[in-house]
Structure 1
Amino acid sequence: MRSHIEALLSSKYPPDVVAALIDSYLQMQTSYAQRRWKPSELEAGFFVEAARRIIELELFGVTQPIGKPLNQFNDAEIKRYESATSGDVSFRIHLPRALWSVYNLRNKRGVGHLSPVNPNFMDATYILGSCSWVLAELIRLSSGSSPAQCQQLVDSLVQRRISLVYEDDTVKRVLDPRMPARQQVLVLLYTHAEPVSDEVLRIWVEYQHKSNFRTRVLIPLHKERLIEYRDHLCRLTARGIAEAEQLLTKVTKATLANE
């Protein structure tokens, strides 16, 4: 899915800027999933720099290439964007103000500089959510798709990477063999952006009996609304994502307690 988003945005904007935008967003997501708040928030600074270059290209037709500094991000710069004589209102007002909020929070909360407030879950959640909206809005403005379609594209971009899961070109494995199959399914789906077939999941979990895997693991998860299981494909629901994150938090705390 990254290739689709990258091609869509690169048709209008410099490919290196688009790549930097997506790279920083994915790094934010990965660190957030690992509950590493400071790296997640720190990466937001790079995201803001890439997004500002796109805004400037839309509003003024020119921007600084990567490697050369942008103007300081302050009130005057916000007013410069707002006063542009052309460009969608999102490029002039909504996107710059969202990015400015992210930039200021990142700089004043113990991320880029010392602060009484250390990086934390609350700030990291706000920053990631804001950057997710910015990326979806850039896709909407570039493609003309609906907000729901754009957010779905952004969601499908995310491959959550966690230390509990081994992955290579052919297989994924939960590295704790004692974890029950239903929990392994939630963790594996959490790390995968696209729907996964029931047979691929069975192979990843190494569950021997095909029929029992469906009736004892997947169908109960579907009935609990933790996964959507349809046409042999499985995808986490919002409730399933929350359940997987709670499970991973418990595993992380247990690991830290034993170190």
Structure 2
Amino acid sequence: MPLDPKDAFSALPPTLVADLLDAFQQVVKNYAEHRWEPAELNGGKLCEAAYTILGGYFAGTYPVRSSKPSNIVDACKKLEGETGPRAARIQIPRMILALYEIRNNRGVGHAGGDVDPNHMDATTVVYMSKWIVAELVRLLHGLSTDDATVLVDALVEREVSLVWKSGDKRRVLKPGLTLLKQTLLLLAGVTDAKEADLVSWLEQKRPADYRKNVLRPMHQARLVEYDQTVGTVALLPPGVAMAEDLIHELSQQGKSHG
């Protein structure tokens, strides 16, 4: 099995592959930073790249860059008349249309949508995007669904590389950060967290000290909503902004050292 998703698209122009994977990486990155609207907008870019790849698959030649058809609904429906795997003719195109619907008519692509950009819609965009990319990998490289999913999961993990995850366990990978900054990074990838999980993830031997010196001050500063009664912690908007700035700062440091 190839080690990089780009290997699965070796028959495509590198610029077209970049259009697809860059859009996917931005969906994942913005979702991890709680930036719901950018995550959903990049889902639309991914749709356009995925449609372009399907069009090239049936035409036998791939465009250099992705492009948006004048009517993506009609264009995707037209693919149903092609000869080939059902995934390429029907399943991927219909998922593209569902994802594009969120981008256009849920308050993301323009004013007047039914709802504002939100966590639920952004989560849907992430998993639909992941499914589309995995199916394209499977289609173009002949992998099993499980192998294609593992490959795409690896891409997701590289994009959110500041925090390692395995099952219910998480670890901040960047050494030397304060407990406050580590807490921000851990909370950036979840809707809310249990206090006990944060204590475990940060390997705090004195939970009372962590509660006193980190969680309560963060709550008082309105960075988090810390419910001591039920033991949950969630980022508030100022905390989200601070986490975004921290992730951006650390990402830039990583690039400069790479």
For the superposition of Structure 1 and Structure 2, which TM-score range results when normalised by the shorter chain?
A: 0.5 to 0.7
* Equivalent of residue 107 in structure 1, options 104, 107, 115: 104
Instruction: Provide the rounded CA distance (Å) in 2 between the counterparts of 1:103 and 1:175.
Output: 39
Q: Which aligned pairs between 1:200-219 and structure 2 lie closer than 5 A?
A: none
Residue in 2 aligned with 1:96? Answer: 93
Question: Counterpart of 1:250 in 2: which secondary structure?
Answer: strand
SS of aligned partner of 2:71: coil
Gap change, CA 1:178 and 1:37, over 3 Å in 2? closer
Say if 2:45 is the partner of 1:61: no
1:109–1:119 Cα contact (<8 Å) kept? yes
Say which of 167, 174, 183 aligns to 1:172. 174
Deviations 1:33-86 (A, max 9, x none): 111110000001111111111100112224654275434202x223310001x2
Work out whether residues 92 and 132 of structure 2, in 8 Å CA contact, stay in contact via their aligned partners in 1. yes
Aligned partners of 1:2, 1:23: CA distance in 2, in Å? 19
- Answering whether residue 123 of structure 2 is matched by residue 135 of structure 1, we say no
Q: How many residues align?
A: 196
Aligned partners of 1:248 and 1:7: how far apart in 2?
42
* 1:8 paired residue number: 8
RMSD: 3.9
* Distance change in 2, residues 1:30/1:248 (3 Å): farther
| Corresponding residue for residue 77 of structure 1 | 75
**Unaligned runs of at least 5 residues, structure 2:** 165-172, 190-201, 206-230, 243-258
Shift of 1:136: 0.7
Is 1:25 aligned with 2:24?
A: yes
Which amino acid letter does the alignment assign opposite residue 136 of structure 2? L
Taking structure 1 as the reference length, the TM-score comes to 0.63
Q: Aligned partners of 1:18, 1:65: CA distance in 2, in Å?
A: 9
Cα offset for 1:5? 1.2
Distance 2:87 2:145 in 1: 13
| Unmatched tracts of structure 1, length 5 or more | 166-170, 191-204, 208-212, 217-246
TM-score (normalizing by structure 2): 0.63
- Per-residue deviation at 1:126? 1.1
Would the alpha carbon gap of residues 111 and 147 (structure 1) be closer, same or farther in structure 2, given more than 3 Å must change?
Answer: same
Alpha-carbon displacement from aligned partner over 1:195-233 (angstroms, at most 9, x marks no partner): xxxxxxxxxx8x9xxxxx9xx8xxxxxxxxxxxxxxxxx
When structure 1 is superposed on structure 2, of 65-74 and 99-108 the one drifting more is: 65-74
Mean alpha-carbon deviation: is it higher for 137-146 or for 147-156?
Answer: 137-146
- Counterpart CA distance in 2 for 1:68 and 1:254 is 37
Q: d(CA) in 2 for partners of 1:128 and 1:29? A: 6
The alpha-carbon deviation at position 8 of structure 1 amounts to 2.1
Compared with structure 1, are the counterparts of its residues 91 and 249 closer, same or farther at alpha carbon in structure 2 (3 Å cutoff)?
farther
Q: Distance in 2 between matches of 1:174 and 1:248?
A: 25
Segment drifting more, 23-32 vs 247-256:
247-256
